[in-house]
Structure 1
Amino acid sequence: MTIMNIFRTRQSINAIECLGSLIQINSARCFSQVKDKEIKHPSIDRIRNIGISAHIDSGKTTLTERILFYTGRIAEMHEVKGKDNVGATMDSMELERQRGITIQSAATYTLWKDYNINIIDTPGHVDFTVEVERALRVLDGAILVLCAVGGVQSQTLTVNRQMKRYNVPCLAFINKLDRLGSNPHRVLTQMRSKLHHNAAFVQLPIGLESDCKGIVDLVSERALYFEGNFGMNIREDEIPQDMRTEAKERRQELIEHVSNVDDTLGEFFLEEKTPEVSDLKAAIRRATLKRKFTPVFVGTALKNKGVQPLLDGVLEYLPNPGEVENIALIEKTGEETEKVLLNPARDGKSPFVGLAFKLEAGRFGQLTYLRCYQGMLKKTDTIWNARTGKKVRLSRLVRLHSNNLEDVNEVFAGDIFALFGVDCASGDTFLNTARRDLSMESIYVPDPVVSMAIKPANNKDRDNFSKAIARFTKEDPTFQFAYDSDVKETIVSGMGELHLEIYAQRMEREYNCPVVLGKPKVAFRETLTGPCEFDYLHKKQSGGSGQFGRVSGILEPLPAPNNTGLEFTDETVGTNVPKQFIPGIEKGFRLMAEKGLLSGHKLSGIKFRLKDGAHHIVDSSELAFMMAAQGAVKQVFEDGSWQILEPIMSVEVTCPEEFQGTIIGQLNKRHGIITGTDGTEGWSSIYAEVPLNDMFGYVGELRSMTQGKGEFCMEYSRYSPCLPEVQDKIIEEYQRSFGIVPEEKKKSKKN
């Protein structure tokens, strides 16, 4: 090969390398800009903390994926279902990619027009509602995503209540305009009637379903078309001729809705002046921040239309951290709690105050998500947990991009970040001073609604099972674990069957510990229906010192209010039963009460009245009298009349009024007794008493009956006699476990 050919070959190789470098630089161009600008700490008005919330399958994660792509945070987009074996950026868990749903909320941050936007993508399924709760607790604004076909659905109502609880202003984004049957006008009507929002369009779609071409911006009165690869190029144009009348009417409607809640725009309206674009935007912003108005955006995230104007809306209409009042509480002994307004300035002069809102087991230990509300925090600083008083020295500060971590040296008020190796609980307040009287309001945690029995499939996996339970119960306060000594089972409780099923799958995948989930047993009780006398002699002689003890008395039922307890009374007179043997008799009675002979459940609601007995000067002992007491209880089992008690639960069902009759009918089918009803603002509350044994599987039935809008809670009320057919079934199952065939079955076999 000549020198010239070698030179040309090298030139070609260099050219190819340069081209490859250019491609890499181009794909990472925006991302590097994000990182470079992140180093410069922006002013408070250049920060937005937002959450994306909606009913399941409304397109939240797809929308977040588009936002990250258009802001240059990711180089390429992937679909939620993971058909290309990659999946959406924010669905980092393997289970999320397989099922195509969001299970855990995920945090990220990005840049749009020199504004820092911290985003939390939340789950839509009601079973993971606590993820939405803790995200909205620390966010300043939110995007409420609605499906153009489904409209306001069950979880939309729940999310709306959560936003109201934490006073979070929001924008509405009607997504999926490309779907068959999409109708954004119907969705707006539902927002006004079902969510009670003062809402109006700020955008209109140009065409629907397969004909969706772009959107009309009613504020600036321009048409926007999304062209080029992935809708990157936005072309402005005049409003189409056939839409000008509708656009004019809808703009006037927008002005009317805003002027009803904003005095400045109201004056324009009364004077019949046409507001300028800047005046209208300022009025929408003021009304949105006060939660008196909800601007409604439209688009289709999947088809890459309407996402960039929505980002502009986030900057223009949602608050920065300095515009939100955040309050800490100072508890004073014997006095009322004092409220302190936190300073959101990013100058670092005020003491640090942060709230831990989420815990997660990371690769390097526990990862604690925090929101900084006041002051600043540097790497190597020392902070205190206000609840426990524990001191922590920080070795690492990170910001989050889904499951990727990026180290930072300092964080300021308004930032969302994470720490490693901090032992705390969700909702703890952290300070950089040792004072313990200051804390922030914690996170609302709903009570679990479903319980299931759980056990590892293999006994050798018990260590991993314990580790998994310890981790998941700490991370998720709605996932609870308890051991029921009555039925000798471990019970897990959660927000739904899917919730518990997901954790069971995670135990198998992450801890190599397959588990078995099943219906938990009900803690039935056995009791007497009437008093029964006993007189029992325990006598045993086999050479040497024997055993002798005689007890007589009455076993009787306690009054109904005390039917969960056991009582023992010594009514003996004289020395027939020496006093030193009385504890042995009581012990024998209580041992027998641990397992009844009728169904194997505990005895309750029984009083053991010891009236008389006899002893032997040599052979009597505490053990002999304990055996005598046990024999006496067995004697009463044969002579007395017994019944089984079952736990009755106080149940409260909340649902829209139109489902009230259906729910009352279903509760009656489950042997429930309706004790009262209540109603307000289109919602109805039904109070009932239902046997616990009939409440299994009710959550799924309730959601299907009420289109997912119904909720219920229950707590223990009392024990009550169960129905005869239930009692017969329990006794039969107990006898079958010992291989005993009931008499009726024996006769039928002979015949």
Structure 2
Amino acid sequence: MSFNKEIERRRTFGIIAHPDAGKTTLTEKLLLFGGAIQEAGAVKNNKIKKGATSDFMEIERQRGISVSTSVLAFNYKNKKINILDTPGHKDFAEDTFRTLTAVDSVIVVVDVAKGVEEQTEKLVAVCRLRNIPMIVFINKLDREGKDAFDLMDEVEQKLGLTVTPMSFPIGMGYDFKGIYNIWEKNINLFSGDSRKNIEETIAFSDVENPELDRIIGEKPATRLREELELIREVYPEFNRDAYLSGALQPVFFGSALNNFGVRELLDSFVEIAPAPRPKESETRMVEPSETKLSGFIFKIHANMDPKHRDRLAFLKIVSGTFERNKPYYHVRQKKNFKFSSPNAFFAEKKEIVDISYPGDIVGLHDTGNFKIGDTLTEGEIMSFKGIPSFSPEHFRYINNADPLKAKQLEKGIDQLMDEGVAQLFTLELNNRKVIGTVGALQYEVIQYRLEHEYGAKCTYENFPVHKACWVKPDDAKNDEFKEFKRIKQKFLAKDKYGQLVFLADSDFTIQMTVAKYPSVKLYFTSEND
């Protein structure tokens, strides 16, 4: 198959939502329809015993939440589909924001009862900023919830989207009869039996046909006709160009747990979603069809397989092909690297691939050469824009709880910080280590992973810091900078890369410091990232 056809086949997308909207369940059902797994467990009930396919970290199985983005690939209708299932919990938003730099489109999952929630608003705002095409999937239709029109209004108002329904429910909650597929003009009847993998579909091009009354009942049929009439009057017709430019968002209804409405979503997704899109670098726009490789690291994961202590860097290919055992140029390190076993993913199952194309996500075994945001090319010096690094909001001292395991603790912290889950600061005054995170739940994850993956134990102590500010003086030798260092020495630390950081205890302190030492510049993100 030609290079351009391979690009055209790819669909790389992320699934975003508030926790518990059914994101991981939807991922699993998409895999089921794609033939990638044979059966789907009821994810929530059996989380601890069985776990969802995409939640492969032990802590995720125990807490029933996704704490790390996982990558899953499968083929469907001659398309190669790459799903990035992201954490919904706000304490892991950093991972999700970075993942959104690696997707070409997004599916937003909304819970029928809870409607649009806070975390969804934040994530959709990021997608809108980048004009990422979005499809909305309104989930859990078999439960009592809000009216379909009210939900679409809420999506438009709270998320600032322009929606057009591609399918519509026949009744809701206890009265839920099925879905009318506006896109394919057919009816999908709901039997309520979640063990049935695929529901029956009846082709139905003319809703005025009296046969409809016989199939779903007279009252529901009349109501459906009225609702479809209203949709035609109120909502714009689907236009693919408007969807691709981020100006129009198709809406689908369904119940992921009951495999309902998922096939319709997948079928139209395959047809309308974009193939890999161009990406802007700091020097120029990079087109997927360029023959020379370029790609960037958007995630690093230590211990995908704790038995082997392996560390994987996730590379999103932007242009060209990535071939096994071919040397590629690491722009930040200014040297060439070869990769003998690049991996493709199916959750934690990995297989070695000889060649990968734009849109694909490749796992590279890493011994510490990569950082998030690194770029690989065939020699061109460039780096891709918009891979965020966040200033931590929570700070704690980390203490070694087992003196015999000091080495393991050091190695564990070092590797987990490379993943971007948190940042490490070493105080100048006494060399004590402080961990800064975006969300408080990260501390639990770090503690759990240090113990279970590295055999090291740690405890935390509160450290009253408001913000980390990276320090860049105009002149490192001038008296003002020396004075700043002397007065603030209790609050100065070095980050993992040896850069000077001022750990300020309040906004007021930051303002006073800026006023008193004008030649000492403070930044809320590290230039190193």
Q: TM-score, normalised by structure 2?
A: 0.81
Tell me whether 1:308 sits opposite 2:252 in the alignment: no
Which of 387, 403, 426 is the matching residue for 2:348?
Answer: 403
**Partners of 2:273 and 2:230 in 1: CA distance:** 21
Which of 373, 378, 381 is the matching residue for 1:427?
Answer: 373
Does the CA-based 8 Å contact 1:96-1:102 persist in structure 2?
A: yes
What secondary structure does 2:40 align onto?
A: coil
1:249 shift after superposition = 5.1
**Partners of 2:366 and 2:378 in 1: CA distance:** 17
* Equivalent in the alignment of 1:415: 360
Judged with a 3 Å threshold, the aligned counterparts in structure 2 of structure 1 residues 102 and 350 are, in CA distance, closer, same or farther, namely: same
1:522 shift after superposition = 6.6
**Partners of 1:385 and 1:256 in 2: CA distance:** 54
Does the CA-based 8 Å contact 2:48-2:64 persist in structure 1?
A: no
* Equivalent in the alignment of 1:232: 198
**Partners of 1:562 and 1:419 in 2: CA distance:** 44
Judged with a 3 Å threshold, the aligned counterparts in structure 2 of structure 1 residues 108 and 248 are, in CA distance, closer, same or farther, namely: same
> Which deviates more, 418-427 or 144-153?
418-427
Within a 5 Å distance, the mapping from 1:218-229 to structure 2 comes to 218-225=182-189, 229=195
Which of 454, 458, 461 is the matching residue for 1:511?
Answer: 454
Which of 42, 51, 56 is the matching residue for 1:79?
Answer: 42
1:390 shift after superposition = 1.7
Tell me whether 1:46 sits opposite 2:23 in the alignment: no
1:288 shift after superposition = 0.8
Within a 5 Å distance, the mapping from 1:16-35 to structure 2 comes to none
**Partners of 1:445 and 1:253 in 2: CA distance:** 45
1:329 shift after superposition = 3.2
* Equivalent in the alignment of 1:274: none
> Which deviates more, 209-218 or 299-308?
209-218
**Partners of 2:230 and 2:219 in 1: CA distance:** 19
**Partners of 2:62 and 2:86 in 1: CA distance:** 17
Amino acid at match of 2:506: M
Does the CA-based 8 Å contact 1:47-1:116 persist in structure 2?
A: yes
Which of 7, 16, 27 is the matching residue for 1:64?
Answer: 27
Within a 5 Å distance, the mapping from 1:476-495 to structure 2 comes to 476=420, 478-486=421-429, 489-495=432-438
Give CA deviations for 1:624-665 in whole Å, capped at 9, x if unaligned: xxxxxxxxxxxxxxxxxxxxxx96622xxxxxxxxxxxxxxx
**Partners of 1:565 and 1:64 in 2: CA distance:** 51
Judged with a 3 Å threshold, the aligned counterparts in structure 2 of structure 1 residues 512 and 458 are, in CA distance, closer, same or farther, namely: same
1:375 shift after superposition = 1.1
1:188 shift after superposition = 1.5
Which of 283, 286, 301 is the matching residue for 1:360?
Answer: 301
* Equivalent in the alignment of 1:97: 61
* Equivalent in the alignment of 1:583: none
Amino acid at match of 2:40: M
Tell me whether 1:369 sits opposite 2:314 in the alignment: yes
Does the CA-based 8 Å contact 2:47-2:64 persist in structure 1?
A: no
RMSD between aligned alpha carbons? 3.1
Judged with a 3 Å threshold, the aligned counterparts in structure 2 of structure 1 residues 290 and 251 are, in CA distance, closer, same or farther, namely: farther
Give CA deviations for 1:604-638 in whole Å, capped at 9, x if unaligned: xxxxxxxxxxxxxxxxxxxxxxxxxxxxxxxxxxx
1:493 shift after superposition = 0.7
Does the CA-based 8 Å contact 2:165-2:250 persist in structure 1?
A: yes
Tell me whether 1:327 sits opposite 2:327 in the alignment: no
Amino acid at match of 1:59: G
Amino acid at match of 1:140: D
What secondary structure does 2:74 align onto?
A: strand
Give CA deviations for 1:572-592 in whole Å, capped at 9, x if unaligned: xxxxxxxxxxxxxxxxxxxxx
**Partners of 1:310 and 1:291 in 2: CA distance:** 18
Which of 132, 146, 153 is the matching residue for 1:168?
Answer: 132
Does the CA-based 8 Å contact 1:493-1:500 persist in structure 2?
A: no
* Equivalent in the alignment of 1:685: none
Give CA deviations for 1:341-383 in whole Å, capped at 9, x if unaligned: 33323xxx71111111111124453211111111112211110
1:209 shift after superposition = 2.0
* Equivalent in the alignment of 2:329: 384
Which of 247, 259, 262 is the matching residue for 1:292?
Answer: 247
Amino acid at match of 2:181: D
* Equivalent in the alignment of 2:167: 203
**Partners of 2:43 and 2:225 in 1: CA distance:** 38
Does the CA-based 8 Å contact 1:452-1:491 persist in structure 2?
A: yes
* Equivalent in the alignment of 2:393: 449
Amino acid at match of 1:446: F
Aligned length: 471
Does the CA-based 8 Å contact 1:482-1:491 persist in structure 2?
A: yes
**Partners of 1:188 and 1:211 in 2: CA distance:** 19
Does the CA-based 8 Å contact 1:452-1:518 persist in structure 2?
A: yes
Judged with a 3 Å threshold, the aligned counterparts in structure 2 of structure 1 residues 489 and 66 are, in CA distance, closer, same or farther, namely: same
Does the CA-based 8 Å contact 1:48-1:318 persist in structure 2?
A: yes
What secondary structure does 1:76 align onto?
A: coil
Does the CA-based 8 Å contact 1:200-1:295 persist in structure 2?
A: yes
Within a 5 Å distance, the mapping from 1:444-593 to structure 2 comes to 444-476=388-420, 478-486=421-429, 489-520=432-463
1:716 shift after superposition = 6.7
Judged with a 3 Å threshold, the aligned counterparts in structure 2 of structure 1 residues 518 and 212 are, in CA distance, closer, same or farther, namely: farther
Amino acid at match of 1:425: K
1:94 shift after superposition = 0.8
Does the CA-based 8 Å contact 2:328-2:337 persist in structure 1?
A: yes
**Partners of 1:562 and 1:491 in 2: CA distance:** 24
* Equivalent in the alignment of 2:179: 215
1:488 shift after superposition = 6.2
1:487 shift after superposition = 7.1
**Partners of 2:169 and 2:465 in 1: CA distance:** 55
**Partners of 1:226 and 1:253 in 2: CA distance:** 23
Within a 5 Å distance, the mapping from 1:183-198 to structure 2 comes to 183-198=147-162
Amino acid at match of 2:196: F
Which of 506, 509, 513 is the matching residue for 1:649?
Answer: 506
> Which deviates more, 234-243 or 149-158?
234-243
Give CA deviations for 1:271-313 in whole Å, capped at 9, x if unaligned: xxxxxxxxx5xx4322211111111111111122111001012
Greater RCO, 1 or 2 (C-alpha within 8 Å, sep 6+): 2
Give CA deviations for 1:208-228 in whole Å, capped at 9, x if unaligned: 224433211123443212567
Give CA deviations for 1:498-550 in whole Å, capped at 9, x if unaligned: 11221112112212222111211579xxxxxxxxxxxxxxxxxxxxxxxxxxx
1:185 shift after superposition = 3.0
Structure number, greater radius of gyration? 1
Segments of 5+ residues of structure 1 without an aligned counterpart are 1-37, 260-279, 331-338, 524-560, 568-592, 595-600, 603-645, 651-688, 692-714, 721-751
* Equivalent in the alignment of 1:318: 273
Judged with a 3 Å threshold, the aligned counterparts in structure 2 of structure 1 residues 522 and 190 are, in CA distance, closer, same or farther, namely: closer
**Partners of 1:256 and 1:210 in 2: CA distance:** 28
- Percent sequence identity over matched residues? 28
* Equivalent in the alignment of 2:495: none
Does the CA-based 8 Å contact 2:16-2:107 persist in structure 1?
A: yes
